[in-house]
Amino acid sequence: MAAEPVSDGGAAAEKLISGREEFGDSSNLFSAILAMVLWLGAIHFNIALILLAVFFLPLSKSLLVFGFLFGFMVLPINEKSRFGRRLSRFICKHACNYFPITLHVEDMKAFDPNRAYVFGYEPHSVLPIGIVALADHTGFMPLPKVKVLASSTIAFLKARRGFVRVAMVKGKPLVPVFCFGQSNVYKWWKPGGKLFLKFARAIKFTPICFWGIFGSPLPFRHPMHVVVGRPIEVDKNREPTTEEVAKIHGLFVEALQDLFERHKARAGYPNLELRIV
């Protein structure tokens, strides 16, 4: 069962949930690996398919492959699909047990299941896998109206303020979230040099090569601890100025740093330092 909130009278209600304790009895290694392959293996499969189409297939078949992939990109998702919901639940449950992932919510009473929230999740790392602990189908936090935006241990936040603007335009509370152990589930490599840096800046994306167990897409089974801070209330502003965004951004960075310092020892990283760049 999920851990019950711990409170002291009218004080904040903490909530601590372990994916291993919650799903350990109903999950096994085979199911966990299958869930991870279905979820994360698709990335490597798509990359391999694109490389195959570009370098080995004739033009007509390459266009067919790209058309197939594009079709899946624009295909509308049926959120009420019974199969889709069961598949999502299967992946969420076994993913939380695989690493395992532990979720710590500082104040569960501060969240209203009828409100929408913008969660600022750090660090992004190779893939923000720990974000699965916040998914509706996992059931740890019963908040169906959540938008999670993920931006070494390094948080690249100084120039990334889009998630703050989203919260301001929508008038939704901004929630700091930090995942300890996120950076250890994959090994990765990227080319160096000025030419690569210019290319990455031009496409606004840094291509990297990453791998897990035995060089596969299967991530390393490294425990992750996802800590959720208290919501930062944001007034609705459809056209916020740069200065207004910077002010809220500063509040978020300060809250994230405080959240990190409060929980790093408890998560097993007492000497870890957070760099905001």
Eight-state DSSP code of residue 3: P
Give the residue among 150, 158, 157 at the shortest CA–CA distance from 177.
Answer: 150
Q: What is the DSSP letter of 153?
A: -
CA distance 251 to 176: 10
β 174-180/154-155 pair status: unpaired
DSSP letters along 211-248, please?
Answer: E-GGGSSSPP---EEEEE---B-----SS--HHHHHHH
- Domain contains 160: yes
Number of H helices, E strands in the chain: 7, 10
Cα–Cα dist 201/107, whole Å: 39
- Residue 228: the pLDDT is 95
Whether residue 105 is contained in a domain is answered as yes
On whether residue 255 sits in a domain, the answer given is yes
Answer yes or no: are the C-beta atoms of 147 and 118 closer than 8 Å.
yes
Overall number of domains in the chain: 1
Q: pLDDT in tens for each of the 277 residues of the chain?
A: 344 444 444 556 788 888 988 888 888 889 999 999 888 887 778 888 888 998 999 998 899 988 988 887 777 667 778 888 888 899 999 999 999 999 999 999 999 988 889 898 988 888 889 999 998 888 888 777 666 665 534 454 555 678 888 889 999 999 999 999 998 999 988 888 888 888 877 877 777 888 899 988 899 999 999 999 999 999 999 988 989 988 998 999 999 999 999 999 999 999 988 887 6
* 187, two tokens: 């090994």
Residue 88 covered by a domain: no
Residue 160's Cβ-side half-sphere holds a number of Cα atoms within 13 Å equal to: 17
What's the distance, CA 136 to chain centroid?
Answer: 13
Q: What is the domain range of residue 212?
A: 15-19+99-276
- Any domain includes 44: no
Q: What is the pTM of this model?
A: 0.83
Q: How many CB atoms lie within 10 A of CB 122?
A: 26
Euclidean distance between CA atoms 142 and 245, whole angstroms: 29
In a domain, 39, yes or no: no
Q: Is 130 helix (H, G, I), strand (E, B) or coil?
A: helix
Task: Give the 3-state secondary structure of residue 137.
Answer: coil
The pLDDT value recorded for residue 6 is: 47
Residue keyed to tokens 């919260």: 167
Tally of CB atoms within 10 A around 189: 9
Q: What pLDDT does residue 196 have?
A: 80
204 part of a folded domain: yes
Q: What are phi and psi of 175, to 5 degrees?
A: -115, 120
Q: Is residue 55 in some structural domain?
A: no
Quick one: tokens of 5?
Answer: 């909130």
